[in-house]
Amino acid sequence: MAKPIKETLLEQERFELKSKSGGGLLSYEVWGYQENGKTVVTRYNLAYINHSICHVDNGRVLGFDNAHDYHHRHYMGEVMAVEFTSYEATLEKFQQEWLEIIKETRGNKK
């Protein structure tokens, strides 16, 4: 009988952003396990929260997670399923979109 894999918290970080960086909060939570020297991500929750930009979804402007048994993207209160290729690709997409949001919102604060 195979031994059940024990999932552990791999990363949990929160960064409070200064207003010149767009303000708000970046949150990363990643769960998984090690197998044959490789990290396997089983659960993740990536979020950019800024109540001055988004007044719904607890201030979550942008987020990616795989809660509720599917991979999905949160944007300004709307949730849509997304195609999943890897956690690393999802993290990259989150970071690119977050930076674009910051660029746009800073440009609107003239």
DSSP 23-88: -SEEEEEEEEEEETTEEEEEEEEEEEE-TTT--SGGGEEEEEE-GGGS-EEEETTEEEE---S-HH
What is the predicted pLDDT for the residue at 79? 96
What is the predicted pLDDT for the residue at 6? 87
| CA distance to 19, 24, 77, per residue, from 16 (Å) | 9, 6, 21
Query: Smallest Cα–Cα separation from 19: which of 60, 59, 46, 50?
Result: 50
Tokens 């402007």: give the residue. 61
Q: What percent of the chain has pLDDT over 90?
A: 78
Assign 110 a pLDDT band (cuts: 50, 70, 90).
very low
Identify whether the C-beta of residue 73 lies closer than 8 Å to the C-beta of residue 97.
no
Assign 95 a pLDDT band (cuts: 50, 70, 90).
very high
Q: Which of 2-11, 32-41, 95-104 has the lowest mean pLDDT?
A: 2-11
Digit-coded pLDDT (tens) for 59-72: 999 999 999 999 99
Quote the pTM value: 0.88
